Amino acid sequence: MNQQSYYFDHEKLHVYQKALEFVVWLNDILERVEKKHAVHGQLDRASTSVVMNIPEGNGKFTSKDRCKYFDISRGSALECAGGLDILVAKNILSFEEIKPGKIMLKEIVSMLVGLIKSNSDRTYEPEIEYNTEKS
């Protein structure tokens, strides 16, 4: 996308652009996979979920809500990675054929984790050692 075609804030996110790039790449892959394989539909749905949850999360007003949708998107990206592995395990495609997708997914997951961490309201207790010995 060029800068003139941005209509919404989520379109500016690199992770959104990368997720769309993955969908385009996957579409070419899925054209070579018969629809009778369950993984075909699952990959299509999961890749769609990666993209769809980014704008939904980005449009939320609270950090907790944003993180929820970014986490769903991350889970769907990991599901796509598993789907690609299934294509190799079932000898439908070779590892070399799916490798570009795995590389894209690794980048997408990393960016989503970054978004989740940067939006997180969560507080953490510092690690301390508790004395459990009886006196």
- The angle, 0 to 180 degrees and rounded to 10, between the axes of the packed helices 95-119 and 14-30 is 150
Neighbours of 119 (CB within 10 A): 19
Q: Tell me what percent of the residues of the chain surpass a pLDDT of 70.
A: 86
Angle at 22 between CA 18 and CA 26, to 5 degrees: 175
- pTM, two decimal places: 0.85
- Tens digit of each residue's pLDDT (9 = 90 or more) over 9-59: 999 999 999 999 999 999 999 999 999 999 999 999 999 999 999 999 999
What is the assigned CATH class of domain 7-119? mainly alpha
Q: Which residue has the higher pLDDT, 3 or 59?
A: 59
